Amino acid sequence: MCETCGCGLPEEAKNHAHEHDHDPGRTHREEAVLYRNLLAANEAQARENRAHLMEHGILAVNLMSSPGTGKTSLIEAVTASLSDQLRVGVIEGDLATDRDAERIRALGLPVWQITTGSTCHLDAAMVHEALHHLPLESIDLLFVENVGNLVCPGLYDLGCHLNGVLLSVTEGDDKVAKYPVIFKYAQFFCITKSDLLPYVSFDAAKPQREARILKGDLKTFSLSAKSREGMGSFLNYLLAERAALTA
Partner 1 sequence: MHEWSLACELVRQAETEARRRNALRVHAVKASVGVLTGVVPELLQRAYEMARQGTCLEEAPLEIEVEAIRARCPRCGREVTLHSPALVCPDCSALGLEVLGGDGIFLASLELEVAETAGGNHV
SS3 (DSSP) at 148: coil
CA 139 remoteness from chain centre? 20
Residue 159 and residue 190: Cα distance in Å, rounded? 20
| Interface with ligand GDP, residue 45, by CB under 6 A | no
| Interface with ligand GDP, residue 193, by CB under 6 A | yes
Q: Are 202 and 179 in contact (CB under 8 A)?
A: no
Q: Which partner, partner 1, Mg ion, Zn ion, none, binds residue 100 by CB below 5 to 8 Å per kind? A: Mg ion
Name which position in 76, 100, 123, 171 contacts Mg ion (CB under 5 A): 100
Quick one: 104 exposed, middle or buried, by C-beta within 10 A (0-12, 13-18, 19+)? buried
Phi-psi region of 39 (alpha: psi -120 to 50; beta: other; left: phi over 0): alpha
| Interface with partner 1, residue 33, by CB under 8 A | yes
| Interface with ligand GDP, residue 96, by CB under 6 A | yes
Name which position in 45, 73, 146, 208 contacts ligand GDP (CB under 6 A): 73
| Interface with partner 1, residue 37, by CB under 8 A | yes
Among 204, 194, 197, residue whose Cα is nearest residue 226: 194
SS3 (DSSP) at 113: strand
Q: Which partner, partner 1, Zn ion, ligand GDP, none, binds residue 68 by CB below 5 to 8 Å per kind? A: ligand GDP
Positions in 130-189 near Zn ion (CB under 5 A): 152
Q: How far is CA 33 from CA 9, 17, 63, 90, in A?
A: 16, 14, 37, 43
Q: How far is CA 118 from CA 74, 93, 95, 104, 193, in A?
A: 25, 11, 9, 22, 28
Name which position in 72, 113, 163, 187 contacts ligand GDP (CB under 6 A): 72
Provide the minimum distance between the beta carbon of 204 and partner 1 in the complex, in angstroms, as a whole number: 18
Positions in 128-157 near partner 1 (CB under 8 A): 151-152, 154-156
Q: Are 28 and 7 in contact (CB under 8 A)?
A: yes
| Interface with ligand GDP, residue 113, by CB under 6 A | no
Q: Which partner, partner 1, Mg ion, Zn ion, none, binds residue 94 by CB below 5 to 8 Å per kind? A: Mg ion
Q: Which partner, ligand GDP, Mg ion, partner 1, none, binds residue 13 by CB below 5 to 8 Å per kind? A: partner 1
Judged by CB under 5 A, which stretch of 16-24, 69-77, 121-129, 177-185 contacts Mg ion?
69-77
For residue 107, what is the DSSP state? T
| Interface with ligand GDP, residue 197, by CB under 6 A | no
| Interface with partner 1, residue 39, by CB under 8 A | yes
Residue 220 and residue 198: Cα distance in Å, rounded? 20
| Interface with ligand GDP, residue 93, by CB under 6 A | no
Q: Are 224 and 230 in contact (CB under 8 A)?
A: yes
* Radius of gyration of the CA atoms of the chain, in A: 23
Q: Closest CB to partner 1 among 80 and 213?
A: 213
Contact set with Zn ion (CB under 5 A): 2, 5, 7, 28, 120, 152
